[in-house]
Homo-oligomer: A and B are copies of this chain.
């Protein structure tokens, strides 16, 4: 007979999920009501309004897809792209590669613009690709690469795409709530995100927003959307205005309670204050990491504050360090992914995880474990350096 599961509480400083605030866990556990209950429908309207705020958009089609960020990505691709389309996909990490997969599974062609992992997308390469490939339907890129910690210049890429008549599809899984993101000002046509990063909500749902231009493309498709579950022509009716709901699927009721609460907390803090907090805490962590003798792999001008990819001291078994952090201190940090596997750690300072006590815990625990393993670091230097930045 299997017994109930009681997870050991952890401090989550990996690439996500991040720590979920007790207020959000409490909202999550509230009694389930029907997904067509007027109270629930009204709550969905609030979620929509607050997502518009988080995305800085007036887009009417702003919703939470009932599945993780990967499904939010797929929602944008299967609705906007059709077989035979040509699409520019920028890849500078894992998630650009996933965009390519999405494009190809639709039967469209991905024209790749590749940059080294850890670098921002090179805007000049995007421009060259647009010039070399007239008539591309969309330019797709990752605003904040979770696999490397690099931010790209979303506004510049969107401007270029629009000059060439292309739509933009943007991955904001790790940026939403944690660093500057302005959907309307930057001219992003379609964007998707996740809940388990800087919103500090539980994983499992994906905020998505499309502007009117993108909605027109969806409405005027030549072919049906290949996914019934993700067909926005149907999902729009479910999230439709004026309190009306056309039954499509059963919404993840409790997960939406949690998203609602996380967005209430974002409003209370203020979006720009949240961006500033993520920035300030990054500077404190950075001071400690560099004082210890480790380096950041992303250039300062494209470094994400919420996802810190740092080097591993020579000769250290990086997986053993992560296991020890988890087992001894209940602290999770992330491994490298793809081309960076075994080469970096990814330290997340996302949402509720981005706070002073976590920075000290992480630096102190890394210092302790690396020192015990005999790694060449400046033992004892990290905490005072971080603390100096926190004042």
Contacts and interface: CB of A to CB of B under 8 A. Distances in A.
Given A5-B27, A255-B255, A68 B250 contact: yes
A29 B25 contact: yes
A389 to B, nearest CB: 27
Contacts of A196: 32, 250
A252 to B, nearest CB: 3
A226 B226 contact: yes
A71 B46 CA distance: 25
Interface string A250-273: 111111011011011001100000
B203 A253 contact: yes
A98 B48 CA distance: 27
A102 B228 contact: yes
A5 B43 contact: yes
A255 to B, nearest CB: 6
Nearest to A2: B46
A318 interface: no
What is the copy number of this chain in the assembly?
Answer: 2
Contact of A28 (B19, B33, B254): B254
A5 B68 contact: no
A203 B251 contact: yes
Given A2-B46, A7-B43, A203-B252, 17 more contacts: A2-B50, A2-B263, A5-B27, A7-B39, A7-B40, A7-B257, A8-B39, A9-B33, A17-B32, A20-B31, A34-B332, A73-B229, A102-B228, A202-B252, A203-B251, A204-B253, A204-B255
15 contacts: A2-B46, A2-B260, A2-B263, A4-B27, A5-B260, A17-B35, A25-B31, A38-B326, A67-B68, A68-B250, A70-B248, A102-B228, A106-B226, A204-B255, A226-B226
